[in-house]
Amino acid sequence: MELGSLYEALHPVFKWLHIIAGIVWIGLLYFFNWIGAHFVATMDADTKQKVVPELMPRTLFWFRWGAAYTWVTGVVLLHVIFWDGAMSMGTSPGNNMFDNGTEVTSFAHVMLLVTFLAVFAYDYLYSSGLIKDVRVMTGVIFLLIAGIIYLMKFNAGFSYRAFNIHLGALFGTNMAFNVWFRIWPAQQKIITSIKNGEAPDADLAALAGLRSKHNTYMSVPLIWTMINQHTTIFAGGNFGITDSTNWLALVIMVALGWHVVWQLYKKSGTIKGF
């Protein structure tokens, strides 16, 4: 089988696996943030000691492996759909990664590294305590995201589809990192404490809760990038959007996505049991 034919076969199979894993992961993420946290808050200590050690390890198993498989299959899809045959230096002949005639430079490779290494800058900003005001930090992160999108388009030469999905890959990498290196290690200790009838470490609980909330906020614009990279309606030529301003449409959708999540958090706190 030729390599091109193999990639054509891998595309639908890995997209199918990517969606299945993503449903498992994000479904549990929303359960934790909009249902589970409110439910656990109604339990007394004895109930928590019985329920949490049985429920949470099971849900966190599917949660963390859903994250892992979503990320791995996503990287495979990026290679098959965008990177293969597109990253050589020189003028691009036109593909999903670059528009026809785009000069492929080393800066394009730098922005690929940013896609997967920006997680360490994100983790540092939130772990260092450098900026303590939540609103200021949110503004800084938003400006950094806008800057990354701008650089992907105008300096790296990414096509409309490419800068959409690579922002999604950046969010997805941050989220998977949070699951495996921040949320899961903290939850293991929290669950053990509850099982032993002890109060969980408040700092660990705060860390797990904060990173889970971050993942929820990143997930909604991430989903937008997944669907929007399949259409060109906002790429330019409609609604007053031009090729030079289409990156702003994505910036606006990130902000709108965050507002949607904020509204859903507010609503989730009003839902009561019988």
Is there a domain that residue 196 lies in? Answer: yes
pTM assigned to the model: 0.96
Is there a domain that residue 112 lies in? Answer: yes
Percentage of residues in the chain with pLDDT exceeding 90? 89
Q: Indicate if the pLDDT at residue 90 is higher than 90.
A: no
Q: Which phi and psi angles does 98 have, rounded to 5°?
A: -135, 150
pLDDT computed for residue 224 by the predictor? 97
Cα three-residue angle 264-126-258, rounded to 5 degrees: 25
Among candidate residues 66, 98, 55, 111, the one with its CA nearest the CA of residue 219: 66
Residue 54 to residue 73: CA distance in whole angstroms: 30
Q: Taking residues 39-50, report their average pLDDT.
A: 96
| Beta strands at 103-104 and 90-91: parallel, antiparallel or unpaired | antiparallel
Counting Cβ atoms within 10 Å, is residue 183 exposed (0-12), middle (13-18) or buried (19+)?
buried
Is there a domain that residue 49 lies in? Answer: yes
Is there a domain that residue 39 lies in? Answer: yes
Counting Cβ atoms within 10 Å, is residue 194 exposed (0-12), middle (13-18) or buried (19+)?
buried
Domains of the chain: total: 1
Q: Indicate if the pLDDT at residue 255 is higher than 70.
A: yes
pLDDT computed for residue 199 by the predictor? 95
Q: Taking residues 38-62, report their average pLDDT.
A: 96
Residues 96-144 pLDDT 10s: 999 999 999 999 999 999 999 999 999 999 999 999 999 999 999 999 9
Among candidate residues 257, 246, 260, the one with its CA nearest the CA of residue 224: 257
pLDDT computed for residue 8 by the predictor? 85
5 pLDDT band, cuts 50/70/90, is: confident
Q: Taking a C-beta distance cutoff of 8 angstroms, is the pair 174, 118 a contact?
A: yes
What's 200's DSSP letter?
P
Q: Taking a C-beta distance cutoff of 8 angstroms, is the pair 111, 98 a contact?
A: no
Strands (E), the chain: 90-91, 103-104
Residue 254 to residue 170: CA distance in whole angstroms: 13
Among candidate residues 23, 99, 122, 115, the one with its CA nearest the CA of residue 66: 23
Q: Taking residues 53-76, report their average pLDDT.
A: 98
Is there a domain that residue 273 lies in? Answer: no
Is there a domain that residue 274 lies in? Answer: no
In the three-class reduction of DSSP (H, G, I as helix; E, B as strand; rest coil), residue 8 is classed as helix
Domain encompassing residue 162:
3-268
